[in-house]
Amino acid sequence: MQADDLADNGRRLIEKLAEAGQLKVGFLIRVLLEGRLELFELGLAKLLDLDYSRVQHLLYESGPRPVAMACRAIGIDRCVFPTIYKLSRQRRCLDARLQPGDRLEIDDVFAAFSKRDASDWLRAC
């Protein structure tokens, strides 16, 4: 199967899950753990109601704060964040290390932002 066909299949699956009310955080975590990065990205975009390209930018080009905001916005717990950050970046061959300052900033996101506030922040930036 070609890459375009796989992408189309992934989009259809995400749409069907969303329409059935079955697109949940647990699904995103599972597909990420399975190495199905595109499904994770597509599902995250759907849950955040953001464009796929915007989600890719937030995940890979903006550091850990936007990833923490995305996790907070869809209800991913703080203790799961390091796994999400590490696996998504490693699958793209990017540095997944968090610096001490990053950890403080991430803690602040989960402590100070409601799900709604995090979602609004993502739309505004």
The b/e string for 6-43 (b: 16+ C-beta within 10 A; e otherwise) is eeeebbebbeebeeeeebebebbbebbeeebbbbbbbb
Q: What is the mean pLDDT of the chain?
A: 93
Task: Check pLDDT > 90 for residue 125.
Answer: no
Q: Give how many domains the chain has, as a whole number.
A: 1
pLDDT tens-digit series, residues 23-74: 999 999 999 999 999 999 999 999 999 999 999 999 999 899 999 999 999 9
Instruction: State the pLDDT at residue 28.
Output: 97
Residue 14 belongs to what domain range? 3-124
Instruction: State the pLDDT at residue 48.
Output: 97
Instruction: State the pLDDT at residue 22.
Output: 96
**Type of residue numbered 81:** F
Instruction: State the pLDDT at residue 6.
Output: 59
Report the pLDDT averaged over residues 75-91: 96
CA distance 102 to 10: 32
Instruction: State the pLDDT at residue 8.
Output: 85
Instruction: State the pLDDT at residue 62.
Output: 85
Report the pLDDT averaged over residues 113-119: 98
